[in-house]
Protein backbone atom coordinates (compact mmCIF):
# COMPACT_ATOMS: atom_id res chain seq x y z
CA UNK A 1 0.00 0.00 0.00
CA UNK A 2 1.28 3.41 -1.03
CA UNK A 3 1.00 5.82 1.91
CA UNK A 4 0.18 9.47 1.50
CA UNK A 5 3.21 11.76 1.78
CA UNK A 6 3.07 14.95 3.79
CA UNK A 7 3.08 17.28 0.79
CA UNK A 8 4.34 20.83 1.37
CA UNK A 9 4.83 23.61 -1.18
CA UNK A 10 6.11 27.19 -1.31
CA UNK A 11 5.01 29.98 -3.63
CA UNK A 12 6.87 29.73 -6.92
CA UNK A 13 8.99 32.85 -7.34
CA UNK A 14 8.79 35.12 -10.35
CA UNK A 15 11.83 34.03 -12.27
CA UNK A 16 12.74 37.59 -13.30
CA UNK A 17 12.66 38.93 -9.75
CA UNK A 18 15.70 39.47 -7.55
CA UNK A 19 16.08 36.71 -4.90
CA UNK A 20 15.85 38.53 -1.57
CA UNK A 21 15.26 38.03 2.14
CA UNK A 22 11.51 37.48 1.70
CA UNK A 23 12.00 34.66 -0.80
CA UNK A 24 14.73 33.04 1.29
CA UNK A 25 12.61 33.32 4.47
CA UNK A 26 9.61 31.59 2.92
CA UNK A 27 11.74 28.74 1.61
CA UNK A 28 13.50 28.31 4.96
CA UNK A 29 10.27 28.08 6.98
CA UNK A 30 8.87 25.55 4.51
CA UNK A 31 12.12 23.58 4.78
CA UNK A 32 11.97 23.60 8.58
CA UNK A 33 8.39 22.31 8.47
CA UNK A 34 9.37 19.62 5.93
CA UNK A 35 12.28 18.49 8.10
CA UNK A 36 10.23 18.67 11.31
CA UNK A 37 7.66 16.33 9.76
CA UNK A 38 10.38 13.95 8.63
CA UNK A 39 11.80 14.07 12.13
CA UNK A 40 8.37 13.14 13.49
CA UNK A 41 8.47 10.12 11.18
CA UNK A 42 6.35 11.17 8.19
CA UNK A 43 7.32 10.68 4.62
CA UNK A 44 7.51 14.19 3.17
CA UNK A 45 7.47 15.64 -0.33
CA UNK A 46 8.69 19.24 -0.45
CA UNK A 47 8.19 21.27 -3.62
CA UNK A 48 9.42 24.68 -4.69
CA UNK A 49 10.09 26.27 -8.06
CA UNK A 50 9.73 29.25 -10.36
CA UNK A 51 6.92 31.07 -12.14
CA UNK A 52 8.09 31.88 -15.66
CA UNK A 53 5.32 33.11 -17.92
CA UNK A 54 3.84 36.57 -18.34
CA UNK A 55 4.23 39.89 -20.00
CA UNK A 56 7.08 41.18 -17.83
CA UNK A 57 9.28 38.22 -18.68
CA UNK A 58 8.42 38.54 -22.36
CA UNK A 59 9.20 42.27 -22.38
CA UNK A 60 12.51 41.97 -20.53
CA UNK A 61 13.66 39.06 -22.67
CA UNK A 62 12.86 41.05 -25.82
CA UNK A 63 14.63 44.13 -24.46
CA UNK A 64 17.73 42.00 -23.91
CA UNK A 65 17.42 40.48 -27.39
CA UNK A 66 16.79 37.00 -25.99
CA UNK A 67 14.19 34.33 -26.55
CA UNK A 68 11.97 34.18 -23.44
CA UNK A 69 12.81 30.50 -22.94
CA UNK A 70 16.57 31.12 -23.08
CA UNK A 71 16.17 34.09 -20.73
CA UNK A 72 14.19 31.95 -18.25
CA UNK A 73 16.72 29.12 -18.48
CA UNK A 74 19.44 31.51 -17.34
CA UNK A 75 17.37 32.88 -14.46
CA UNK A 76 16.21 29.46 -13.30
CA UNK A 77 19.86 28.62 -12.58
CA UNK A 78 20.05 31.48 -10.05
CA UNK A 79 16.89 30.31 -8.26
CA UNK A 80 18.03 26.72 -8.12
CA UNK A 81 21.32 27.82 -6.67
CA UNK A 82 19.48 29.82 -3.97
CA UNK A 83 17.64 26.60 -3.07
CA UNK A 84 20.92 24.73 -2.69
CA UNK A 85 22.59 27.59 -0.82
CA UNK A 86 19.73 27.39 1.71
CA UNK A 87 20.17 23.57 1.81
CA UNK A 88 16.47 23.11 1.14
CA UNK A 89 15.53 19.46 1.45
CA UNK A 90 13.35 19.69 -1.66
CA UNK A 91 12.11 16.65 -3.54
CA UNK A 92 11.38 18.49 -6.76
CA UNK A 93 11.78 21.90 -8.41
CA UNK A 94 8.99 22.93 -10.76
CA UNK A 95 9.36 25.36 -13.63
CA UNK A 96 6.12 26.48 -15.25
CA UNK A 97 7.80 26.06 -18.63
CA UNK A 98 8.29 22.32 -17.92
CA UNK A 99 6.33 20.22 -20.45
CA UNK A 100 4.98 18.16 -17.51
CA UNK A 101 3.38 21.34 -16.14
CA UNK A 102 2.05 22.72 -19.42
CA UNK A 103 0.22 19.51 -20.27
CA UNK A 104 -1.58 19.50 -16.91
CA UNK A 105 -2.65 23.15 -17.27
CA UNK A 106 -3.99 22.33 -20.72
CA UNK A 107 -5.77 19.17 -19.52
CA UNK A 108 -7.49 21.18 -16.79
CA UNK A 109 -8.50 23.94 -19.21
CA UNK A 110 -9.95 21.39 -21.65
CA UNK A 111 -11.93 19.60 -18.98
CA UNK A 112 -13.33 22.75 -17.41
CA UNK A 113 -14.21 24.15 -20.82
CA UNK A 114 -15.99 20.94 -21.84
CA UNK A 115 -17.97 21.05 -18.62
CA UNK A 116 -19.15 24.63 -19.17
CA UNK A 117 -17.12 26.47 -16.54
CA UNK A 118 -15.93 29.14 -18.99
CA UNK A 119 -17.52 31.77 -21.24
CA UNK A 120 -16.15 34.32 -23.66
CA UNK A 121 -16.82 38.02 -23.14
CA UNK A 122 -15.61 41.46 -24.07
CA UNK A 123 -13.62 43.46 -21.58
CA UNK A 124 -13.07 47.16 -21.70
CA UNK A 125 -10.94 48.78 -19.05
CA UNK A 126 -7.53 49.32 -17.56
CA UNK A 127 -4.63 46.94 -17.34
CA UNK A 128 -1.47 46.92 -15.23
CA UNK A 129 1.37 45.03 -16.86
CA UNK A 130 3.45 45.25 -13.74
CA UNK A 131 0.88 43.38 -11.66
CA UNK A 132 -0.54 41.44 -14.63
CA UNK A 133 -4.02 42.45 -13.60
CA UNK A 134 -7.12 44.33 -14.76
CA UNK A 135 -8.07 47.43 -12.79
CA UNK A 136 -11.38 49.16 -12.30
CA UNK A 137 -12.51 52.65 -11.35
CA UNK A 138 -12.45 51.47 -7.73
CA UNK A 139 -8.67 51.12 -7.93
CA UNK A 140 -8.12 54.81 -8.67
CA UNK A 141 -6.69 57.15 -6.04
CA UNK A 142 -8.69 60.28 -5.05
CA UNK A 143 -6.60 62.29 -7.58
CA UNK A 144 -7.70 60.00 -10.41
CA UNK A 145 -4.37 58.23 -10.93
CA UNK A 146 -3.67 54.57 -10.18
CA UNK A 147 -1.42 53.62 -7.24
CA UNK A 148 2.28 53.40 -8.10
CA UNK A 149 2.39 49.64 -7.38
CA UNK A 150 0.53 49.10 -10.65
CA UNK A 151 3.23 50.78 -12.75
CA UNK A 152 2.07 52.00 -16.14
CA UNK A 153 -1.67 51.46 -16.61
CA UNK A 154 -3.03 51.15 -20.14
CA UNK A 155 -6.55 51.22 -21.57
CA UNK A 156 -7.65 48.00 -23.20
CA UNK A 157 -10.60 46.59 -25.11
CA UNK A 158 -10.38 42.88 -25.66
CA UNK A 159 -12.18 39.59 -25.78
CA UNK A 160 -11.23 36.90 -23.26
CA UNK A 161 -12.41 33.73 -21.59
CA UNK A 162 -13.85 33.97 -18.10
CA UNK A 163 -14.08 31.34 -15.39
CA UNK A 164 -17.40 31.27 -13.50
CA UNK A 165 -15.95 32.01 -10.11
CA UNK A 166 -18.87 34.00 -8.69
CA UNK A 167 -21.31 31.11 -8.50
CA UNK A 168 -19.10 29.34 -5.92
CA UNK A 169 -18.94 32.23 -3.45
CA UNK A 170 -21.36 30.84 -0.85
CA UNK A 171 -19.84 27.37 -1.08
CA UNK A 172 -16.42 28.83 -0.34
CA UNK A 173 -17.67 30.86 2.62
CA UNK A 174 -19.29 27.72 4.06
CA UNK A 175 -16.14 25.70 3.48
CA UNK A 176 -13.87 28.20 5.24
CA UNK A 177 -16.31 28.49 8.12
CA UNK A 178 -16.46 24.73 8.57
CA UNK A 179 -12.69 24.23 8.31
CA UNK A 180 -10.95 26.59 10.71
CA UNK A 181 -7.51 25.12 9.97
CA UNK A 182 -7.81 25.74 6.22
CA UNK A 183 -6.38 29.27 6.32
CA UNK A 184 -3.88 30.06 9.09
CA UNK A 185 -3.22 32.18 11.12
CA UNK A 186 -6.82 32.96 12.16
CA UNK A 187 -6.63 36.65 11.32
CA UNK A 188 -5.84 35.77 7.70
CA UNK A 189 -8.82 33.43 7.66
CA UNK A 190 -11.00 36.25 8.99
CA UNK A 191 -9.61 38.58 6.36
CA UNK A 192 -10.68 36.18 3.59
CA UNK A 193 -14.10 35.63 5.16
CA UNK A 194 -14.57 39.38 5.50
CA UNK A 195 -13.67 39.89 1.86
CA UNK A 196 -16.02 37.14 0.70
CA UNK A 197 -18.92 38.30 2.84
CA UNK A 198 -18.65 41.94 1.81
CA UNK A 199 -17.88 41.72 -1.90
CA UNK A 200 -19.57 40.19 -4.86
CA UNK A 201 -17.00 37.80 -6.33
CA UNK A 202 -16.39 38.63 -9.98
CA UNK A 203 -15.71 35.99 -12.59
CA UNK A 204 -12.02 35.50 -13.31
CA UNK A 205 -10.48 36.38 -16.65
CA UNK A 206 -8.30 33.35 -17.42
CA UNK A 207 -6.82 34.19 -20.82
CA UNK A 208 -4.79 36.83 -22.60
CA UNK A 209 -4.99 37.29 -26.39
CA UNK A 210 -1.81 35.83 -27.90
CA UNK A 211 -1.33 38.83 -30.18
CA UNK A 212 -0.71 40.89 -27.04
CA UNK A 213 1.02 38.24 -24.94
CA UNK A 214 2.44 35.07 -26.38
CA UNK A 215 4.72 34.05 -23.53
CA UNK A 216 2.19 31.78 -21.89
CA UNK A 217 0.63 28.36 -22.13
CA UNK A 218 -1.59 28.15 -25.24
CA UNK A 219 -5.28 27.63 -24.49
CA UNK A 220 -5.92 24.16 -25.99
CA UNK A 221 -9.39 24.93 -27.37
CA UNK A 222 -8.58 28.37 -28.79
CA UNK A 223 -5.06 29.10 -29.96
CA UNK A 224 -5.76 32.83 -30.19
CA UNK A 225 -5.26 32.89 -26.44
CA UNK A 226 -2.70 32.00 -23.81
CA UNK A 227 -3.46 31.17 -20.17
CA UNK A 228 -3.54 33.92 -17.55
CA UNK A 229 -0.41 33.63 -15.35
CA UNK A 230 -2.22 32.83 -12.09
CA UNK A 231 -4.32 30.07 -13.65
CA UNK A 232 -1.00 28.67 -14.88
CA UNK A 233 1.07 29.27 -11.71
CA UNK A 234 -1.37 27.85 -9.14
CA UNK A 235 -1.58 24.61 -11.07
CA UNK A 236 2.10 23.89 -10.28
CA UNK A 237 1.00 22.40 -6.96
CA UNK A 238 -1.11 19.91 -8.89
CA UNK A 239 1.06 19.25 -11.94
CA UNK A 240 3.88 17.72 -9.91
CA UNK A 241 1.59 15.10 -8.29
CA UNK A 242 0.13 14.46 -11.77
CA UNK A 243 3.63 13.87 -13.14
CA UNK A 244 4.40 11.58 -10.19
CA UNK A 245 1.48 9.32 -11.13
CA UNK A 246 -0.54 10.23 -8.03
CA UNK A 247 -3.67 8.01 -8.06
CA UNK A 248 -5.69 10.92 -6.57
CA UNK A 249 -5.38 12.69 -9.92
CA UNK A 250 -7.50 11.38 -12.79
CA UNK A 251 -6.07 11.13 -16.34
CA UNK A 252 -8.56 13.79 -17.50
CA UNK A 253 -6.68 16.27 -15.26
CA UNK A 254 -3.33 15.31 -16.70
CA UNK A 255 -2.15 12.40 -14.51
CA UNK A 256 0.69 10.44 -16.05
CA UNK A 257 1.68 6.83 -15.51
CA UNK A 258 4.74 6.54 -13.28
CA UNK A 259 6.91 3.57 -12.46
CA UNK A 260 6.93 4.45 -8.77
CA UNK A 261 3.77 6.49 -8.23
CA UNK A 262 3.57 8.77 -5.20
CA UNK A 263 0.52 9.67 -3.18
CA UNK A 264 0.71 13.45 -2.73
CA UNK A 265 -2.58 15.22 -3.36
CA UNK A 266 -4.16 16.94 -1.47
CA UNK A 267 -1.30 19.17 -0.38
CA UNK A 268 -0.93 19.34 3.40
CA UNK A 269 0.47 22.88 3.48
CA UNK A 270 0.84 25.66 0.93
CA UNK A 271 3.27 28.15 2.48
CA UNK A 272 2.71 31.63 0.99
CA UNK A 273 3.15 35.32 1.73
CA UNK A 274 0.27 37.59 2.71
CA UNK A 275 0.14 39.43 -0.64
CA UNK A 276 -0.97 36.34 -2.57
CA UNK A 277 -3.62 35.17 -0.13
CA UNK A 278 -6.61 35.91 -2.37
CA UNK A 279 -5.19 33.83 -5.21
CA UNK A 280 -4.65 30.86 -2.89
CA UNK A 281 -7.68 31.16 -0.64
CA UNK A 282 -10.27 32.19 -3.24
CA UNK A 283 -9.26 31.35 -6.82
CA UNK A 284 -7.40 28.12 -6.13
CA UNK A 285 -10.07 26.39 -4.00
CA UNK A 286 -12.73 27.28 -6.59
CA UNK A 287 -10.54 26.00 -9.43
CA UNK A 288 -10.10 22.73 -7.54
CA UNK A 289 -13.79 22.45 -6.79
CA UNK A 290 -14.62 22.90 -10.47
CA UNK A 291 -11.99 20.25 -11.29
CA UNK A 292 -13.62 17.85 -8.81
CA UNK A 293 -10.37 17.64 -6.81
CA UNK A 294 -9.87 17.77 -3.05
CA UNK A 295 -8.78 21.05 -1.48
CA UNK A 296 -5.39 21.51 0.16
CA UNK A 297 -5.49 20.97 3.91
CA UNK A 298 -3.89 24.26 4.84
CA UNK A 299 -2.81 27.60 3.46
CA UNK A 300 -0.17 28.92 5.84
CA UNK A 301 0.37 32.63 5.44
CA UNK A 302 3.53 34.39 6.52
CA UNK A 303 4.15 38.11 6.88
CA UNK A 304 6.55 40.39 5.06
CA UNK A 305 10.02 41.45 6.08
CA UNK A 306 11.31 44.96 6.20
CA UNK A 307 14.86 46.00 6.91
CA UNK A 308 15.66 48.59 9.58
CA UNK A 309 11.98 49.61 9.56
CA UNK A 310 11.82 50.32 5.83
CA UNK A 311 10.41 48.39 2.87
CA UNK A 312 12.91 46.13 1.09
CA UNK A 313 13.81 47.93 -2.12
CA UNK A 314 16.52 47.47 -4.66
CA UNK A 315 16.21 51.08 -5.82
CA UNK A 316 16.81 52.58 -2.38
CA UNK A 317 19.43 49.92 -1.60
CA UNK A 318 17.50 48.77 1.47
CA UNK A 319 18.13 45.07 0.91
CA UNK A 320 19.32 42.01 2.75
CA UNK A 321 21.21 39.73 0.40
CA UNK A 322 20.71 36.29 1.92
CA UNK A 323 23.70 34.90 0.01
CA UNK A 324 26.05 37.58 1.40
CA UNK A 325 24.79 37.01 4.96
CA UNK A 326 25.27 33.25 4.58
CA UNK A 327 28.77 33.69 3.15
CA UNK A 328 29.77 35.83 6.08
CA UNK A 329 27.92 34.25 9.01
CA UNK A 330 27.09 30.75 7.86
CA UNK A 331 23.79 29.25 6.71
CA UNK A 332 22.61 28.20 10.16
CA UNK A 333 23.03 31.70 11.57
CA UNK A 334 20.72 32.97 8.80
CA UNK A 335 18.18 30.16 9.27
CA UNK A 336 18.21 30.67 13.03
CA UNK A 337 17.69 34.41 12.91
CA UNK A 338 14.74 34.44 10.52
CA UNK A 339 12.85 31.63 12.25
CA UNK A 340 13.61 32.83 15.80
CA UNK A 341 12.91 36.49 15.07
CA UNK A 342 9.57 36.10 13.34
CA UNK A 343 6.61 33.80 13.98
CA UNK A 344 4.70 32.67 10.90
CA UNK A 345 2.09 35.40 10.48
CA UNK A 346 3.08 38.92 11.45
CA UNK A 347 5.44 41.21 9.56
CA UNK A 348 9.07 41.27 10.60
CA UNK A 349 11.92 43.71 10.73
CA UNK A 350 15.50 42.68 10.00
CA UNK A 351 18.11 44.75 11.77
CA UNK A 352 21.82 44.06 11.45
CA UNK A 353 22.25 44.82 15.17
CA UNK A 354 19.49 42.35 16.08
CA UNK A 355 21.02 39.70 13.85
CA UNK A 356 24.42 40.11 15.48
CA UNK A 357 22.96 40.18 18.99
CA UNK A 358 21.17 36.86 18.44
CA UNK A 359 24.30 35.37 16.88
CA UNK A 360 26.40 36.39 19.85
CA UNK A 361 24.05 35.63 22.73
CA UNK A 362 21.96 32.68 21.54
CA UNK A 363 24.26 30.90 19.11
CA UNK A 364 27.82 31.63 20.25
CA UNK A 365 27.33 32.17 24.02
CA UNK A 366 24.26 29.97 24.39
CA UNK A 367 24.35 26.82 22.28
CA UNK A 368 27.97 27.05 21.11
CA UNK A 369 29.33 27.60 24.61
CA UNK A 370 27.27 24.78 26.13
CA UNK A 371 28.39 22.23 23.54
CA UNK A 372 31.99 23.39 23.55
CA UNK A 373 32.52 23.38 27.29
CA UNK A 374 30.57 20.15 27.83
CA UNK A 375 32.62 18.23 25.28
CA UNK A 376 35.94 19.89 26.14
CA UNK A 377 35.56 18.95 29.80
CA UNK A 378 34.62 15.38 28.91
CA UNK A 379 37.74 15.26 26.80
CA UNK A 380 39.99 16.83 29.42
CA UNK A 381 38.73 15.04 32.53
CA UNK A 382 37.69 11.65 31.12
CA UNK A 383 39.75 11.36 27.96
CA UNK A 384 36.56 11.71 25.89
CA UNK A 385 34.97 8.54 27.26
CA UNK A 386 31.30 8.79 28.31
CA UNK A 387 30.79 7.86 31.99
CA UNK A 388 27.84 5.89 33.39
CA UNK A 389 24.38 7.41 32.97
CA UNK A 390 22.69 9.82 35.35
CA UNK A 391 19.32 11.58 35.29
CA UNK A 392 19.78 15.16 36.62
CA UNK A 393 18.63 16.74 33.36
CA UNK A 394 16.37 13.90 32.21
CA UNK A 395 13.14 15.63 33.16
CA UNK A 396 14.12 18.97 31.64
CA UNK A 397 15.03 17.22 28.38
CA UNK A 398 11.83 15.15 28.35
CA UNK A 399 9.68 18.23 28.90
CA UNK A 400 11.44 20.05 26.09
CA UNK A 401 10.93 17.09 23.77
CA UNK A 402 7.20 17.02 24.52
CA UNK A 403 6.76 20.73 23.83
CA UNK A 404 8.84 20.60 20.66
CA UNK A 405 6.79 17.66 19.38
CA UNK A 406 3.59 19.64 19.92
CA UNK A 407 5.12 22.73 18.28
CA UNK A 408 6.14 20.68 15.22
CA UNK A 409 2.61 19.33 14.89
CA UNK A 410 1.24 22.92 14.87
CA UNK A 411 3.99 24.42 12.67
CA UNK A 412 4.94 26.66 15.61
CA UNK A 413 8.57 27.02 14.63
CA UNK A 414 9.48 30.09 16.65
CA UNK A 415 7.90 28.54 19.77
CA UNK A 416 9.93 25.37 19.21
CA UNK A 417 13.15 27.40 19.17
CA UNK A 418 12.13 29.19 22.36
CA UNK A 419 11.52 25.77 23.97
CA UNK A 420 14.84 24.37 22.73
CA UNK A 421 16.71 27.41 24.04
CA UNK A 422 15.05 26.80 27.40
CA UNK A 423 17.03 23.55 27.52
CA UNK A 424 20.22 25.29 26.32
CA UNK A 425 19.87 27.74 29.20
CA UNK A 426 19.21 24.96 31.71
CA UNK A 427 22.33 23.19 30.45
CA UNK A 428 24.47 26.29 30.90
CA UNK A 429 22.99 26.93 34.35
CA UNK A 430 23.74 23.32 35.27
CA UNK A 431 27.41 23.86 34.41
CA UNK A 432 27.51 26.99 36.56
CA UNK A 433 25.69 25.28 39.43
CA UNK A 434 27.66 22.03 39.49
CA UNK A 435 31.01 23.69 38.64
CA UNK A 436 32.68 20.61 37.10
CA UNK A 437 36.03 22.48 36.93
CA UNK A 438 35.99 22.56 40.75
CA UNK A 439 34.83 18.94 41.07
CA UNK A 440 37.78 17.96 38.87
CA UNK A 441 40.20 19.28 41.46
CA UNK A 442 38.87 17.01 44.21
CA UNK A 443 39.46 13.26 43.71
CA UNK A 444 36.69 12.52 46.26
CA UNK A 445 34.21 14.08 43.79
CA UNK A 446 35.11 11.79 40.87
CA UNK A 447 31.71 10.07 40.81
CA UNK A 448 29.87 13.39 40.94
CA UNK A 449 32.00 14.68 38.07
CA UNK A 450 31.10 11.56 36.06
CA UNK A 451 27.42 12.28 36.63
CA UNK A 452 27.70 15.91 35.59
CA UNK A 453 29.69 15.11 32.46
CA UNK A 454 27.14 12.49 31.45
CA UNK A 455 24.23 14.92 31.83
CA UNK A 456 25.99 17.53 29.73
CA UNK A 457 27.01 15.21 26.91
CA UNK A 458 23.55 13.64 26.76
CA UNK A 459 21.90 17.06 26.71
CA UNK A 460 24.12 18.07 23.77
CA UNK A 461 23.09 14.91 21.93
CA UNK A 462 19.41 15.62 22.50
CA UNK A 463 19.87 19.22 21.38
CA UNK A 464 21.41 17.99 18.13
CA UNK A 465 18.26 15.94 17.46
CA UNK A 466 15.84 18.74 18.39
CA UNK A 467 17.73 21.27 16.28
CA UNK A 468 18.03 19.20 13.12
CA UNK A 469 15.03 20.73 11.28
CA UNK A 470 16.31 24.26 11.98
CA UNK A 471 20.09 23.99 11.88
CA UNK A 472 20.87 20.78 10.02
CA UNK A 473 24.57 21.59 9.59
CA UNK A 474 25.13 22.50 13.24
CA UNK A 475 23.17 19.50 14.37
CA UNK A 476 25.34 17.19 12.23
CA UNK A 477 28.49 18.86 13.64
CA UNK A 478 27.34 18.28 17.21
CA UNK A 479 26.69 14.63 16.35
CA UNK A 480 30.13 14.29 14.78
CA UNK A 481 31.81 15.96 17.78
CA UNK A 482 29.99 13.46 19.98
CA UNK A 483 31.52 10.72 17.83
CA UNK A 484 28.07 9.51 16.73
CA UNK A 485 27.43 8.18 13.27
CA UNK A 486 24.23 8.64 11.29
CA UNK A 487 22.07 11.74 11.16
CA UNK A 488 20.20 13.25 14.12
CA UNK A 489 17.11 13.37 11.92
CA UNK A 490 14.50 11.49 13.98
CA UNK A 491 12.85 12.99 17.02
CA UNK A 492 12.45 9.51 18.50
CA UNK A 493 16.23 9.62 19.12
CA UNK A 494 15.74 12.51 21.56
CA UNK A 495 14.68 10.18 24.39
CA UNK A 496 17.01 10.44 27.40
CA UNK A 497 19.73 7.85 27.79
CA UNK A 498 20.96 7.40 24.23
CA UNK A 499 24.65 7.88 25.05
CA UNK A 500 26.19 4.67 26.31
CA UNK A 501 28.88 4.46 29.00
CA UNK A 502 32.24 3.75 27.41
CA UNK A 503 31.42 5.52 24.12
CA UNK A 504 34.30 7.69 22.96
CA UNK A 505 33.43 11.15 21.61
CA UNK A 506 35.12 12.99 18.72
CA UNK A 507 36.95 16.33 18.70
CA UNK A 508 35.23 19.40 20.16
CA UNK A 509 35.41 22.54 17.97
CA UNK A 510 33.68 25.93 18.13
CA UNK A 511 30.27 25.83 16.39
CA UNK A 512 29.84 29.60 16.09
CA UNK A 513 33.15 31.45 15.96
CA UNK A 514 33.05 34.84 17.60
CA UNK A 515 32.69 37.75 15.19
CA UNK A 516 33.48 41.30 16.04
CA UNK A 517 33.00 43.09 12.77
CA UNK A 518 29.59 44.27 11.52
CA UNK A 519 27.83 42.79 8.47
CA UNK A 520 28.97 44.37 5.23
O1 LIG B 1 4.01 36.26 -6.01
N2 LIG B 1 8.90 39.36 2.92
O3 LIG B 1 6.06 35.55 -6.78
P4 LIG B 1 7.04 36.56 -6.01
C5 LIG B 1 8.41 38.11 2.95
N6 LIG B 1 4.96 34.08 -8.65
N7 LIG B 1 7.98 37.44 1.87
C8 LIG B 1 8.03 38.07 0.70
C9 LIG B 1 8.54 39.39 0.57
C10 LIG B 1 8.99 40.05 1.77
N11 LIG B 1 9.47 41.27 1.78
N12 LIG B 1 8.47 39.74 -0.74
C13 LIG B 1 7.93 38.67 -1.40
C14 LIG B 1 4.70 35.56 -6.74
N15 LIG B 1 7.67 37.68 -0.54
C16 LIG B 1 4.04 34.51 -7.63
C17 LIG B 1 3.59 33.35 -6.77
S18 LIG B 1 2.46 30.94 -6.41
C19 LIG B 1 1.49 29.93 -7.32
C20 LIG B 1 2.89 32.24 -7.50
C21 LIG B 1 7.05 36.37 -0.85
O22 LIG B 1 8.40 36.19 -6.51
C23 LIG B 1 5.66 36.53 -1.47
O24 LIG B 1 4.72 36.82 -0.48
O25 LIG B 1 6.57 37.95 -6.16
C26 LIG B 1 5.47 35.19 -2.13
O27 LIG B 1 4.91 34.25 -1.23
C28 LIG B 1 6.89 34.77 -2.52
O29 LIG B 1 7.78 35.67 -1.83
C30 LIG B 1 7.16 34.87 -4.01
O31 LIG B 1 6.88 36.17 -4.47
Tens of pLDDT, residues 279-325? 999 999 999 999 999 999 999 999 999 999 999 998 899 999 999 99
pLDDT (tens digit per residue) in 375-385:
999 999 999 99
> Which neighbouring-strand residues pair with 311?
306
Specify the residue with its C-alpha closest to ligand 1, atom 26: 273
Residue of 227, 246, 281, 280 lying closest to 96 (CA atoms): 227
* Cα 154 to averaged position of ligand 1 atoms, centre (Å): 25
* Cα 273 to averaged position of ligand 1 atoms, centre (Å): 6
Q: How far apart are CA 206 and CA 128, in angstroms?
A: 15
Which pTM value belongs to this model? 0.95
Is the pLDDT at 351 greater than 50? The verdict is yes
Band of pLDDT at residue 156, cut at 50, 70 and 90: confident
* Cα 386 to averaged position of ligand 1 atoms, centre (Å): 49
Is the pLDDT at 124 greater than 90? The verdict is no
pLDDT (tens digit per residue) in 400-421:
999 999 999 999 999 999 999 9
Is the pLDDT at 59 greater than 80? The verdict is yes
* Cα 54 to averaged position of ligand 1 atoms, centre (Å): 16
Q: How far apart are CA 130 and CA 151, in angstroms?
A: 6
pLDDT (tens digit per residue) in 14-48:
999 889 999 999 999 999 999 999 999 999 999 99
Q: Which of 180-189, 384-393, 405-414, 510-519 has the lowest mean pLDDT?
A: 510-519
What are the pocket residues of ligand 1 if the criterion is a CB atom closer than 6 Å to any ligand atom? Answer: 11-14, 17, 22-23, 25-26, 51, 233-234, 236, 272-273, 275-276, 304-305, 312
Q: What is the mean pLDDT of the chain?
A: 96
pLDDT (tens digit per residue) in 261-275:
999 999 999 999 999
pLDDT confidence of residue 463: 99
Using the CB atoms, write b or e for 382-408: b if 16+ within 10 Å: bebebbebbebbbebbeebbebbbebb
Is the pLDDT at 518 greater than 90? The verdict is no
- As a whole number, mean pLDDT of residues 78-88 equals 98
Q: For residue 478, how many other CB atoms are within 10 A of its CB?
A: 25
Residue of 33, 19, 205, 4 lying closest to 119 (CA atoms): 205
Is the pLDDT at 519 greater than 60? The verdict is no
> Which neighbouring-strand residues pair with 127?
134, 154
pLDDT higher for 447 or 134? Answer: 447
- As a whole number, mean pLDDT of residues 337-349 equals 98
Specify the residue with its C-alpha closest to ligand 1, atom 10: 22
Beginning with the edge strand found earlier in the chain, give each strand of the sheet holding 153-163 in spatial order: 133-135, 118-128, 153-163, 204-205
pLDDT confidence of residue 520: 42
* Cα 230 to averaged position of ligand 1 atoms, centre (Å): 13
Specify the residue with its C-alpha closest to ligand 1, atom 22: 13
> Which neighbouring-strand residues pair with 300?
184, 271
Is the pLDDT at 517 greater than 80? The verdict is no
Specify the residue with its C-alpha closest to ligand 1, atom 31: 13
Paired sense of beta strands 269-273 and 6-10, if any: parallel
First-to-last alpha carbon distance for the chain, in angstroms, is 53
Is the pLDDT at 50 greater than 80? The verdict is yes
Question: Of ligand 1's atoms, which has the minimum distance to the CA of residue 50?
Answer: 6
Question: Of ligand 1's atoms, which has the minimum distance to the CA of residue 312?
Answer: 11
Three-state SS at 194: helix
* Burial degree of 59 (CB within 10 A; 0-12, 13-18, 19+): middle
* Cα 11 to averaged position of ligand 1 atoms, centre (Å): 6
Question: Of ligand 1's atoms, which has the minimum distance to the CA of residue 348?
Answer: 2
Q: How far apart are CA 337 and CA 364, in angstroms?
A: 13
pLDDT confidence of residue 516: 66
Within its chain, how far is the Cα of 350 from the centroid?
A: 18
Q: What percent of the chain has pLDDT over 90?
A: 92
* Cα 12 to averaged position of ligand 1 atoms, centre (Å): 8
Band of pLDDT at residue 202, cut at 50, 70 and 90: very high
Q: What is the 3-state secondary structure (H, E, C) of 227-282?
A: ECHHHHHHCHHHHHHHHCCCCCCCHHHCCCCCCCCCECCCCCEEEEEHHHHHHHHH
Are 288 and 294 within 8 A, CB to CB? yes
Amino acid sequence: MMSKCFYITTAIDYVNGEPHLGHAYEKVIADVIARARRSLGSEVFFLTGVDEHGQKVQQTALAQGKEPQAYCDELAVTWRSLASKLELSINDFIRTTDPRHKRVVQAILSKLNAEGHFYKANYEGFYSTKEETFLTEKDRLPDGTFPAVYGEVTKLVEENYYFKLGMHQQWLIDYIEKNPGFIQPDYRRNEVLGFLRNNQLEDLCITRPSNRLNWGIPVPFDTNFVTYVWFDALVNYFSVPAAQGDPAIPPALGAQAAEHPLSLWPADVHVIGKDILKFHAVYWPIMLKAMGAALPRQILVHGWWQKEGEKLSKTTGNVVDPIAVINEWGLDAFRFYVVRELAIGPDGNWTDAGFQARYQSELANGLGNLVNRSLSMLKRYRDGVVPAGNDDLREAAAKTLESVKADFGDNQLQAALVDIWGLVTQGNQYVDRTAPFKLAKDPAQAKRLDEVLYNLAETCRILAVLLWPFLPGTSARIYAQLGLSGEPDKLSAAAWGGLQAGHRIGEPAALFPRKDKPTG
